[in-house]
Amino acid sequence: MRLKGQGYFAVRWQVAYYRCGGEIAMPTWTGLSGKLFHTGSGGGRRLDDPVPGATEVGLTWMGAPRRDPARLPAGAQQMWQAEYYHLDGEVTLHHNEVRRTSADYDLTVAPVTWSEVDADLTRAPHEWRGVVRYGKVRDTGTDRAPVPQYLTRERPADPRRVPQRSAL
């Protein structure tokens, strides 16, 4: 998915742990021109948080221990239900899921305002169904805000090969 312009946007995660587990083939960002910052993590939960009211022991938004849960690659940052970014330029987001060899997940990308981000990050636990924690602001207000993992200015032939540690 090619993203272009200036403003905030959300990437919402849905891990289909009930279909298949295994390691998640993390999404990658390629061809960045301009700036891209990871400004916040929200949605009321990290995906490794316990599912409220679940009857299955150990069930998280990544799956259950007795079934093959979705797993992150070593060193990957644990994602939240919603990850927020600010773009000033252009970048391509690649959904790198590989059928039958990696965990099944979906990403939804949508523009948001900072007011919407702030409302999500400050929503109190149990104020809304499934909210178990406050969000996390990552935006420092400077160019020192973090960039996403798996980001490059290059346009590699295989976007799954983008290094985990972004060096821009």
CA dihedral 90, 47, 39, 108 (to 10 degrees): 30
Q: Identify whether 90 is part of a domain.
A: yes
The domain containing residue 78 runs over which residues? 2-157
Residue 166 lies in a domain: no
Whether pLDDT at 20 is above 70:
no
Domains contained in the chain, number: 1
Mean per-residue pLDDT for 16-21?
72
- pLDDT tens for residues 59-101? 999 988 888 889 999 999 999 999 999 999 999 999 998 776 7
Burial class (CB in 10 A: 0-12, 13-18, 19+), 48: middle
Question: Residue 145 falls within a domain, yes or no?
Answer: yes
d(CA 30, CA 162): 8
Place of tokens 């403003």: 7
Residue 164 domain-assigned? no
Question: Could you tell me if residue 163 is inside a domain?
Answer: no
Assigned domain for 167 exists = no
**143 vs 158: which has the higher pLDDT:** 158
User: Is the entire prediction scored with pTM above 0.85?
Assistant: yes
Tell me, what's the pLDDT at 168?
80
For 17-26, 43-52, 114-123, 144-153, which range has the lowest pLDDT when averaged over its residues? 17-26
Q: Is residue 117 part of a domain?
A: yes
In a domain, 63, yes or no: yes
User: Three-state SS across 71-85?
Assistant: ECCCCCCCCEEEEEE
Mean pLDDT score, 19-29: 87
Mean pLDDT score of the chain: 91
